[in-house]
A and B are shown apart, each in its own frame.
Chain A
Amino acid sequence: MANHEHMKDQLVSLVLGELTEQQRSEVTAHTAECDQCRAELKQLERLLQSAGGRKGLSADESLLQSARNGLLAAVNSGESRIIARPDFRRAFEWRRIMLSPITKIAVAAVIAVAAGLLGISKLGDHKQSPRWALLAKACAGEEALFAGTEIIHIQNEIVVEPAGAEPSLPYAWLPMMSVKPDGSLRFNQLKMNLAPESYVVTDHSWYDPVTGRFTRVLKTGDAVVFGNSYDGRFIYDANVTPDGVTQVSKQALATGFKPPQSPAEYLGLAAGLTTALAKDDSMVQKVEEGTLADGEPAHIYTVGMPDPNGQLQGYFLFKVRDKDKTIAEKEFVLLGRTLLVIRRVLTERVEAPGVSWNLAEIEGTATIDQKVSVTADMIVQNVSVRHMVDRAKFETYVFSTKPAWTGAIEITDCIDPASMGGRMFIMTARAEDGRHLVLVQSPTYNMMLGQVVRAGHVVYTSPNGFKVWGGGPQKWFAQILLQSAQASIKDPPSEDRIGYVFESPAGTFPALAINGPVSDEELHKLVDSLMPAKDYLKAGETDSNKK
């Protein structure tokens, strides 16, 4: 019996191949005589055989590709933690909803529309609806902050909310303007990684209304993450090198330098947003009465664009203090979750700026902060076809001839944050009759529109290999495209706007919107004239897509 127990203990070692020759013979001899041990040995062998059978499983190419696409789509849509839930069926349902291309495009649209919101164009004449009027007053109030004769110091804080158990994005971002040596604005992206704990980025600006000098510094704790200033002779930019040291560049003013029309365009809480909102108040979804964090009464504006189902996937809340009609808080909400709160904590008149107009004094500061970074040139306007070809990592197309019914075509290059490091190219042409044209090419659209177009149908196949898809949510999509091009086309989307998605021979999906009706003949001519941008350059034709 003792031998049986001992042999039984050896069975696992036997199947795992750990026994010496002699031990193996002894155990094998025992199992030949002992039914119980023989049965147990058989079970162990079957167990290991079954496990070993798994070694033969390997993913084929389509499974790998599908997994990779799923990952990229999840990164793109911010769908970052939806799987490991206790209720697996619910998790799959949620994933199914989130994988809806429409939802993803709606989330991506938050970004695309932001590009339109950031229109550089100066504020023009426009009719103000009552809904817009109060917010317009608040924007005007924002401009009034920079009037007077004394230096104004404004301190805002950006509160990055905790990532939570199920963060919708790995990071939140805000557009952040800086002034270039020629007086135009540079559109930067302030990226803030979501962390388990909330943290604050402080934003200090000083502006001298008499001389136009300004200095702006963003910090997390003591670490400078960004700076931009003008001391009357030079423009300074403070950026952080990858090894965490602040580097200040100094550039002489370009001939004919004129600072932007109003400091509110690049400093303060309405920076970048006032002009676009003034042109198109359809983005203001609702106005409610509420209170600020300090308990004071305020009007709260919800600004964003709903998806085809009427859902607001991402939006800004502008909280306007009733007392002085200034914007006291801004909040960014994505998929029902507040990611950022931007709050004014101080405005004061001072005798001198807290940081010199010449940013050289912060050069070399130790600034290790891995949570916050700045990407320059979030949007670059009026670029050439060559620029587009050089920067795009996919086949881009241009119109070989300009449509007869539009003006010159301009190309805007902007970040496509819904892809990993990709760029989005927005081609726009204004038309005298209001039928402005927008063609957007981006990695996100290339990846997602293939599924969306199937909700519509092919309306035309061009001899050049392009298929034109219409129907489906095209009107909604046209609105996104037109709003993303607000900076150039300057008019809000019309009721009779129309949208098409082109399926190119290279498998990309350029998306077209026209701000009004278009005849079949006009559409066909437009599509027939599409050609790869690189071939267009090779052909040495004049750059009519830009000029």
Chain B
Amino acid sequence: MSDIRFEKLVNDHGRDVLNVALRVLGDPDTAKDVYQEVFLAIWRRWHSYDGTVNWGPYLYRVTVRKALELARARRPVAEAPEGCEPESPGSDPDAALRLQDLQKKLTESLAKLPKRQADVFVLSRIEGLDHSAIAETLCCSQNSVRVLLHRAVKHLARELSEYLR
């Protein structure tokens, strides 16, 4: 594979990778790190890819994993993001603050989930993929997706109960 193909890969999928990382982490700086780390990992092994990789699902998978890996490693840093357009919490300042708190804690709690549960939750509830697409991305059955999603929701609700009141 040539370097030009690597550049094409970055051009074709870079925005998706960055958006997924941003939505998982809610923090533009760390999202940039995820983007960099994901593509650098591919670059390091570029010679070993044989041209049959289905990059879309692969990148979805590794980006979510990498984002959660960084979320686990980092200290809580997410503040009001710059360089992205968050959904407005409305005009109530208290509600905005509560939502901000919840957003921070959501990332932290996601990072604590078992990996498969976290993958499924992110792809379903943050990325909006249906069960069939998630099953294809994670190479598992739709039934597994359903079970993992239930567990993830229960787990997160328990973990975040203090912030969900």
Contact = CB atoms under 8 A, between A and B. Distances in A.
Contacts of B125: 48, 51-52
Contacts of B83: 59-60, 62-63, 66
Contacts of A66: 32, 83
Interface stretch (B13-21, B56-64, B133-141): B13-21
Contacts of A95: 33
Interface in B120-165: 121, 125-128, 146, 149-150, 153-154, 156-157, 160-161, 164-165
A538 interface: no
A40 B161 CA distance: 9
Contact of B44 (A52, A67, A80): A80
Contacts of A56: 85-87
A56 B86 CA distance: 6
Given A16-B153, A51-B106, A57 B86 contact: yes
A371 B26 CA distance: 38
A370 B69 contact: no
A370 B48 contact: yes
Nearest to B38: A71
Nearest to B37: A83
Interface stretch (A84-92, A295-303, A521-529): A84-92
B81 interface: yes
A53 B149 contact: no
A53 B154 CA distance: 19
B3 A43 contact: no
Contacts of A167: 44
Contacts of A254: none
A74 to B, nearest CB: 6
B112 interface: no
A59 B19 contact: yes
Counting chain B residues whose Cβ lies within 8 A of the other chain, the interface size class is 35 or more
A420 B7 contact: yes
B115 interface: no
A71 B33 CA distance: 9
A75 interface: yes
Interface string B26-60: 10100111011101100110111000000000000
B35 A71 contact: yes
- In terms of DSSP, what is the predominant structure of the interface of chain B? helix
Contact of B3 (A48, A54, A83, A421): A421
B113 interface: no
A64 interface: yes
B43 A75 contact: yes
A170 interface: yes
Nearest to A86: B73
B97 interface: no
Interface string A40-54: 101110111011111
Contacts of A67: 14, 18, 31-32, 35-36
A54 B10 CA distance: 23
B73 to A, nearest CB: 6
A16 B70 contact: no
A446 to B, nearest CB: 16
A8 to B, nearest CB: 11
A70 to B, nearest CB: 5
B1 to A, nearest CB: 10
A85 B73 CA distance: 7
A343 B69 CA distance: 41
A71 B44 contact: no
A71 to B, nearest CB: 5
B165 A43 contact: yes
B62 to A, nearest CB: 12
Interface string B61-82: 0000010011001110100010
Contacts of A309: none
A374 to B, nearest CB: 14
B126 A54 contact: yes
A12 interface: yes
B36 A74 contact: yes
Contact of B36 (A83, A88, A370): A83
Nearest to B107: A54
Given A15-B153, A59-B15, A370 B47 contact: yes
B23 interface: yes
Contacts of B121: 51
A208 B81 CA distance: 69
Contact of A80 (B40, B86, B106): B40
B10 A47 contact: no
A84 B70 contact: yes
A91 to B, nearest CB: 8
Contact of B157 (A40, A54, A163): A40
A80 B43 contact: yes
A64 to B, nearest CB: 6
Contacts of B36: 67, 70-71, 74, 83
Contact of A57 (B22, B69, B70): B22
Contacts of A370: 47-48
A55 interface: yes
5 contacts: A53-B87, A57-B23, A60-B83, A68-B10, A88-B74
4 tightest A-B contacts by CB?
A: A56-B87, A63-B83, A43-B164, A88-B74
Given A47-B160, A170-B46, 9 more contacts: A12-B150, A16-B153, A40-B157, A57-B23, A59-B18, A63-B84, A67-B36, A75-B40, A420-B3
Interface of A: 12-13, 15-16, 18, 39-40, 42-44, 46-48, 50-60, 62-64, 66-68, 70-71, 74-75, 80-81, 83-86, 88-89, 91, 95, 163, 167, 170, 193-194, 370-371, 420-421
